[in-house]
Amino acid sequence: MHVTRGKTFFPLDWLLEESENEDAEEAWQIFTTTRDGMKPAKTQLTYVFSEEEANAYHAKYPIGSEPTEQPLSKQTSRHFLRRVMTAPSLGFGVASGDSEEPLAFDVLGDAGIYQERYGPLSKEVIENLGPERVAELIETYGENWNIAAAFEYCWVELPHSSPAFVAASYQYHYCITEDDFSAGYYWRDLEVLIDEVEETAAKAIETRKRAGASGSKKSTQARETRRNSLMDALEVVAKRNPDLMKLGGMSVAQLALL
């Protein structure tokens, strides 16, 4: 939908301040509805600032396609996110766990966001944000600065269907915005992602055991077939959620090779 400055649906001035689109007089709204695996469908609103950009995005992702990237550039995404983070009470438009619950830390540690599951942020995250931004986060968020930093990095750099993004979003809303409603939704999504992997692996292993009991256990060819079946099942889940294999990948791989 095309909107012009001064109209109801034109982006708020404070969101555009100091951005490359600060002086824009026109904007185009793009609504995209997606569903990742077993998670509920969600609709996202994005603004672009030229008709050419809007038409290009529409042509690239027709109905039924699978978006592989965010429509915003990383520079625009980072600016938008930082403007919103300066007013966390605005939120992002989502029974939660506990801030010390190990699941979110485990996910972020395995994804390389932290050096260890409860250690400091990884060198890659720190270098991506830069020393000035790290100093700003420390000044703004105090002891929770690392949670804000992880959230910003994941929001800009990772698919929003990835377990790391979901875990970082949960921690951000639980600890910083204190929006338990949003935190609860992200917590549920994180548990769904984990349960999906565990259920798929359990079914594949049970199938292997039954096949072994039927007398094919000694067959090299049968063992190879069962192994491939397990890997295929896990691959289906991984394709739905590209970062999923970062979740306890070693333990899942060990199960696959039994």
**Model confidence over 77-129: pLDDT tens digits?**
666 666 666 654 444 443 333 334 567 878 888 888 998 766 789 999 999 99
Nearest CA among 130, 90, 110, 129 for reference residue 193:
110
For residue 104, what pLDDT is reported? 80
SS3 2: strand
Q: In the chain, which residues have pLDDT < 50?
A: 88-100, 250-258
For residue 186, what pLDDT is reported? 73
Query: Using N-to-C axis directions, what is the helix angle for 74-85 and 145-157, rounded to 10°?
Result: 150
For residue 128, what pLDDT is reported? 93
Largest CA distance in the chain: 75
For residue 125, what pLDDT is reported? 93
Number of H helices, E strands in the chain: 11, 3
SS3 14: helix
For residue 33, what pLDDT is reported? 74
Boundaries of every domain in the chain:
2-70, 88-184, 191-256
DSSP 27-57: EEEEEEEE--TTSPPEEEEEEESSHHHHHHH
Task: Tell me the pTM.
Answer: 0.45
User: Beta strand 42-48 with 26-34: parallel, antiparallel or unpaired?
Assistant: antiparallel
For residue 62, what pLDDT is reported? 78
For residue 129, what pLDDT is reported? 92
Nearest CA among 78, 32, 25 for reference residue 57:
32
For residue 127, what pLDDT is reported? 94
